[in-house]
Amino acid sequence: MKTVLIPGAGYPQIDAIEYCKSKGYKVAGCSYTSGDPGEHLLDDFRQVDIKDAAGVAAWAEECGASLIYTAGSDLAMPTVMEASERLGLPHFISPEAAQICHAKHRMRQTLGQEFKGNVPFGVYDSLEGALDETAGYTASRDAFPAMMKPVDSQGQRGCFRVDSAEDIAERFDVSLGYSIEGKVIIEKFITGEEISVNGYMADGELVFAAISDRYAFEEYPGGIIKEHVLPSRRACGKTAEEVRDLVRRAARKLGVLNGPCYCQIMIGEDSHPYMIEIAPRLDGCHMWRLIRYSSGADLLDWCFRHLAEGAWPGDAEKARAAESSMRSCRLTFMSGLTGSTVNRADFDCSGADYVCWYYENGDTVRKLNGYIEKCGYMICPGE
């Protein structure tokens, strides 16, 4: 029996754990802490920080892993690629490409200020630098509104819209506190409609792209996700083709030539798409399940078979047909305020075809972003 090592044991990783076990793999895991919700599903577990590539590689070698991969974690992707490369195991992209995508400032810098679909930005390790009258972000007369966020966090932690130098001063230290590298990126805020793209690359070609409408809580900062809807009503026709072109060009320039790529994109008021984030992974919102429900395309299956078999197992013509014939559906999160007590009866799940809970009744909602957290999700048909 082959062994797969999956770094992380949170809710996004449970999908990968359950998939691998259904295919007959022995599944080992690791995390910087113990007691994560997916840990009880694992055949073997070791407390190893998922940012520690040497430690993960050592654990993979010890447990005899033939694959190292995970889902839904920006932090783990550079480690997955580096540990796999050290051990000669299959992996989609280089460790350097994974690092570039993970660090928001390096992604912007690699694309370049002249890249069509990039946005103006500045990177700072001090408030004084950001507010510098000649070199800082506020030196631009068209600086605001803007988004300020850590260069290397995940899950919308430390992300704020800023509308003035005073806003930057008030929030800078909070944003900086979530950065491992100790840097903050401030980007021009693109006004428009937000979408997500769950794409798949095979030998440099974008063979599949599910464009979905992304709805966030307007009452909280940082774009905390509330709901995903397929297919997109915001990006269709010519705009959809521009979105596909942006994803293809960005993935190629960043070195993401194989495997999944998850993008957050804004359709600006000029009707053109702008890249907000791109990550060489499956998203953390279980979108692979919504996409399979909507179109039949199974991105989670593609990932593990691609790695195990050495080639993308799909068919380009069938993939594009699935992409263009998605049925209308949505993935909605049941969310609760940080520190509140979960009562499943508070959420209306009637009409859902699939429901998954993260918490039991009576559990306390944990603090992650500090505002509101996912308690579970449901998939429903229709708009």
Domain harbouring 184, CATH code: 3.30.1490.20
The answer to whether residues 216 and 138 belong to one domain is: no
The answer to whether residues 177 and 301 belong to one domain is: no
Per-residue confidence (pLDDT) for residue 374, from 0 to 100 = 94
Could you tell me the pTM of the whole model? 0.89
The answer to whether residues 220 and 169 belong to one domain is: no
CA-CA distances (angstroms) from residue 278 to 249, 288, 330, 372? 12, 16, 22, 24
Phi and psi at residue 262, to the nearest 5°: -110, 125
- Count CB neighbours of 15 within 10 A: 20
Per-residue confidence (pLDDT) for residue 367, from 0 to 100 = 84
Dihedral sign from CA coordinates of 46, 52, 56, 57 = negative
The answer to whether residues 318 and 210 belong to one domain is: yes
The answer to whether residues 198 and 161 belong to one domain is: no
Tally of domains within the chain? 3
Per-residue confidence (pLDDT) for residue 155, from 0 to 100 = 60
The answer to whether residues 183 and 203 belong to one domain is: no
Strands, E assignment, the chain? 3-7, 26-31, 44-47, 65-68, 121-124, 146-150, 160-162, 184-188, 192-202, 205-216, 225-230, 259-268, 273-279, 329-337, 354-357, 372-381
Per-residue confidence (pLDDT) for residue 370, from 0 to 100 = 78
Is residue 370 situated within a structural domain?
A: no
Per-residue confidence (pLDDT) for residue 141, from 0 to 100 = 61
Instruction: State the 10-residue block means of pLDDT for the chain, 383 residues long.
Output: 93 95 97 91 96 97 97 93 98 97 91 91 91 74 85 79 92 93 90 94 98 91 88 92 97 98 94 94 96 97 97 96 95 96 96 96 88 95 81
Coil, strand, or helix at residue 122?
A: strand
User: Are the CB atoms for 341 and 361 separated by under 8 Å?
Assistant: no
Coil, strand, or helix at residue 343?
A: coil
Coil, strand, or helix at residue 154?
A: coil
As a whole number of angstroms, the distance between CA 383 and CA 381 comes to 7
Per-residue confidence (pLDDT) for residue 104, from 0 to 100 = 84
The answer to whether residues 198 and 322 belong to one domain is: yes
User: At which of 76, 91, 106 does a domain end?
Assistant: 91
Domain that holds residue 37: 3-91
User: Are the CB atoms for 250 and 275 separated by under 8 Å?
Assistant: yes
The answer to whether residues 308 and 254 belong to one domain is: yes
User: Are the CB atoms for 59 and 68 separated by under 8 Å?
Assistant: no
The answer to whether residues 183 and 199 belong to one domain is: no
The answer to whether residues 182 and 212 belong to one domain is: no
The answer to whether residues 196 and 319 belong to one domain is: yes
Per-residue confidence (pLDDT) for residue 154, from 0 to 100 = 65
